[in-house]
Structure 1
């Protein structure tokens, strides 16, 4: 640890618990499990206190530990949900995508119809988006969250969730289509 970097586990709850709870809740949509994961993160950090090198802030270090715990939840929720008909699904998706992965022009998403960026509407939109995300199957939610909320690279998502690249694209497409339909029904 760098000399000017002090770490104080006695202040973790006061300084970081609310942030970590909100971060977790936005990704797993389960209040009790979110509280448990934050507590598990603090315990894991205490066990690895000697490993903190001070190259990042205390919050960044704790959040990195928390992210790994969230990925474990994604894995557990999605285990056994990977489709056995993957090749069939890939064939079905070829009608939507070019070989390079970009949308075919006749199937690409159209304008959503709500281009207003009013901050007051954003809060309501985010609440509806969260409710729509809760309706997704566990694996779809994990893939969508990691890709579009956490900005994880595709190869990292595939490795961590143990899905193939082609299955990833099928899942992400289906998640987006379902979210779009739910948002159009509940938001517009």
Structure 2
């Protein structure tokens, strides 16, 4: 988007609408990194406010999403510093969350089966499928989850993700492959596998 292509007020209105449209993806990214919904909400609210107040600073030299995610990164770091004493120590990224709070039974099966199974294209639109998909994404280990969301939900390019995470492009592709394979296994076990029974 060129800055001189439209009046400043129209440009700012359009960018503000873009920020609002990005909010769910920003929340998901912040929650994945902070593992605390309240902290994630605070980080996204602060990032949104900072972006809205600083729209005049966006020069258009990068993608708008990249600029907003950069602001969110700093707000996530602020939340981590603010809550450093409260944050619980986790033994590893692969630790499971409390199963009572998830949609899965302790044996790994989905708690509520879908009402019916029809054409897969139609089923993708069903709320239950997306609940399972979101839960599977929440179970991705920290770094795999971060790169997957940055690529698939925020639409960041390889260079931006590698710079943000501090990895080489080949490592990124391996991590994305692993994330997709874990999602596939999770969906097979907890969605498609249950439908075949």
Fold-level similarity (TM above 0.5): yes
- Structure 1 distance, partners of 2:55, 2:153, is 28
- Structure 1 distance, partners of 2:58, 2:138, is 35
Give the drift of 1:28.
Answer: 3.8
Give the drift of 1:65.
Answer: 4.5
Q: Could you say which residue in structure 2 is the equivalent of 1:51?
A: 57
- Structure 2 distance, partners of 1:157, 1:137, is 17
Q: How do residues 3-152 of structure 1 correspond to structure 2 at under 5 angstroms?
A: 4-6=7-9, 19-29=21-31, 30-45=36-51, 48-51=54-57, 65-71=67-73, 73=76, 116-118=120-122, 121-152=125-156
Q: Could you say which residue in structure 2 is the equivalent of 1:101?
A: none
Match 1:172 to one of 169, 176, 182: 176
Q: Could you say which residue in structure 1 is the equivalent of 2:109?
A: none
Would the alpha carbon gap of residues 70 and 140 (structure 1) be closer, same or farther in structure 2, given more than 3 Å must change?
farther
Post-superposition CA distance 1:101-138 (Å, at most 9, x none): xxxxxxxxxxxxx9711167443222111111111111
- Corresponding pairs, count: 143
Would the alpha carbon gap of residues 132 and 28 (structure 1) be closer, same or farther in structure 2, given more than 3 Å must change?
farther
Q: Could you say which residue in structure 2 is the equivalent of 1:155?
A: 159
- Structure 1 distance, partners of 2:160, 2:55, is 26
What is the TM-score when the length of structure 1 is the normalising length?
Answer: 0.56
Unpaired stretches in structure 2, ≥5 consecutive residues:
81-91, 93-117, 193-197
* RMSD, aligned α-carbons: 3.9
- Please state whether the residue corresponding to 2:9 is helix, strand or coil: coil
Unpaired stretches in structure 1, ≥5 consecutive residues:
82-113
